Structure formats: C-alpha cells, structure tokens
Structure 1
Amino acid sequence: MNRIGFIRHGVTPWNQEGRFQGHSDTPLAPEGILQAELLAARLRDESELESWDLIYSSDLSRAAMTARIVADAIGLTEIHYDERLREVSGGLLDGTTENERVMKWGEDWYDDSETLGLEGEEESARRGLQCIEELVSKYPGRRILLVSHGTFLSYVLNQLLPKDLSRPHLNNTSLTTLVGVTGAWECEMYNCTKHLVNI
C-alpha cells in the first residue's frame, strides 16, 4: 500500500503580489521559509510514528527550497527532482497580476488563455499522473512526499479523487495525503495546515 504526501511549496513574493508564477523560477519569501520550517518540524515530530521514505520535488526554486528544508528535518539525504512536477505553465501570463492581464488582453483574457500559452488542466494532470504511476511502480508500498505547486496539484488531485468543485485551493505548505487501496486512491487528509496555526 503506497502513501503519497502532496505538499504545496511555501509562499513567494509573487504569491504575495498576486502574480501568476507558472514556470518562472521564483524563490521563497521569508514567510515561505518560516512556513516550510514549521511544516518540517511537524513532519519530524510525526515521523516518530510513521516516517517518509522518499521525497520528490519540482525543480523550480520555490518547491526545491521547501523540499530541502523538509528533507533535512526528517533525515532524507537525497531529493529527487522531476520537471513533470512543475507548476502549470502560464506562457505569456507568467509574472502578471490580474490587473495587468486585464490591461493587456481585456477582461475576457481567459477566453484566449490557450493562445497566450496557458497549459491546460488535462495536459498538466497527464504529466503528474505519469510521474505518480512511475513512482508507485518503482517503489511499491513506500511512503513518498511530493513537493509541488498549487494549481498543478489541484489538477492532479482532481484526477485521483472524485471531482469536487467545492474543494478549496491548496494553501502554501499544506499537506494532503492519499493512500492507494485496491487500485484506487483514498484521501486521508486534505489541505492540512495545522502547523501554521500560530503565524
């Protein structure tokens, strides 16, 4: 039985400014580093009961920095980086705020998002599911952490779980855990940020 923990990276300056990040390589903000440290401390404490065996991460800095902080805390010396875990590519949208998008392309800019280079949900989820299927096949029965990005993870989880339009967007450094049961996935925990209650 595989267990996968999905972690969204810590907050970045562009998150704080409301900018679309996509494949832009933005680092964590000081608050994001603190969030990652608090998550790492939580996982270190919880590892006395059940430890994580492996950690995979998007190669973009904000996820990689989060993964490094977590890995150091829980005693994992190796982080595996995989480009398939990158955020949804925004194309020309990368780096823009909503106001800037409206100014450049009008209020209906999303209608032309494909032309502007925005990667679709199906395409994003496909690469994520391919990565997960490979990991489950390669490491049967292992506990694997995946550090990635909010929109990308939402798209992947929409494929692994029954689609639920009321499901909230993942918060920074949230932990979502799924367990593989008889060819399907069951959600143990979704978007949990109990480590952030005091900040």
Structure 2
Amino acid sequence: KYREENNVCRNDFLDILIGIKHNRNILDGTEEENGLKSNSRVSKEEGLTMDQITAQAFIFFAAGFETASSTMTFCLYELAQHPEIQERLSLELETVLENHGGEVSYQALQDLKYMDQVVDETLRMYASLAVLHRRCTKPYKIPGSDLVLQPGQKIRIPAYALHHDPQYYPDPDKFDPERFGPEKVKERHPCLHLPFGDSAGEPRR
C-alpha cells in the first residue's frame, strides 16, 4: 500500500506482483530470447486482488525457498559422498557450457541430462513432501480390491514410502542417479516418483 500511494519502485518481487495487480506487462523479453512463447502475458481483463497477491507471495516463500534449499543441500551432500558421480556431473557441465559458448541459457539447461538424473535421485531419497494430501473428485475403484473411493474423501499418499520401496527401487538407500536414465524411467509407472505431486504432469524439471 505504501509503495502504491508513494509511487515507490524497487525492482523486486513485490514490484512484480503490484505490476500484475495493475495489469502491467512484466515480461522483459528473456523468455522469447530463450525460445519460450510468452503465453503468460497479463491481459487487460485480468489482474490480482491484494488477497491473491498475499497468497502468491506466501506460497513462493513457504513452498519455494525451503524445498529448493533443502534439495540443493542434500544433493551437495550426496555429491560429496560420491566423488565419481561428482566428476561425471562436472564433466557434463563443462562440456555443455563449452558447447553453448559459456552461456547458462535455457537451451543449455535442457542438455544437462545427467544433472536431471542427479536431482531426480536426490528428490527420490529426500522428497520435499513425505506425504501428499489429495481429495477424491469422482468415484474410483481401486484395482484388485472391492474398495471404492468416493468424492470428497481425503487421501494420503506415502511418497517417501514409495520412493524407498525396494520393489520399485532396489537398494533404496543407495544414491544412484542411473535409476533415472531414460530406459529405467520408461520401465516404471510415473507415479512411483512423486517429489512434488503427480510426476506424469509435473512441470518442475
């Protein structure tokens, strides 16, 4: 409120949200430079209320920083424990950066296949959400049983238990990025890896 009334601009996260509230175009062209389509432009008919802005800010801080920082911490710990994996990842980073002229671009990140595997294995062993909470939206009969879930029923999905089940991940306490090689991933049901939710439609890679 103070910033709006006094026309204060600090070029930070809050300014971006205030800009969305007032229907300002906040994209700077970076998305298009990286080959992305700008489908997220705010139209004149759209905007955010102050309550929506507050909710968005809260979820960014509550869900964004803690999950990212803990994942990076565990990832660095495992890399320190496994120098051979660290060496392979370092070589991939050097090669990709050299191929892209030393620029860390969106395209360069897409070429870091082994890094994806390392991060996925970190999220398997140290899932940010040990248990997922969902609510049933339509009747569903669980295969192989007489149990039928009804709309409105709350469901708890034990993501940590799935990630450490030796039936799906042999030697589950071993840090092994090879579990997420292309062929291994194809062999598993996508819902056996749920670091943030339903990985079949997960956008966080």
Q: TM-score range by the shorter chain?
A: under 0.3
Which of the two has greater helix per residue?
Answer: 2
* Structure (1 or 2) with the larger CA radius of gyration: 2
- Provide TM-score, normalisation by structure 2: 0.22
Which of the two has greater strand per residue?
Answer: 1
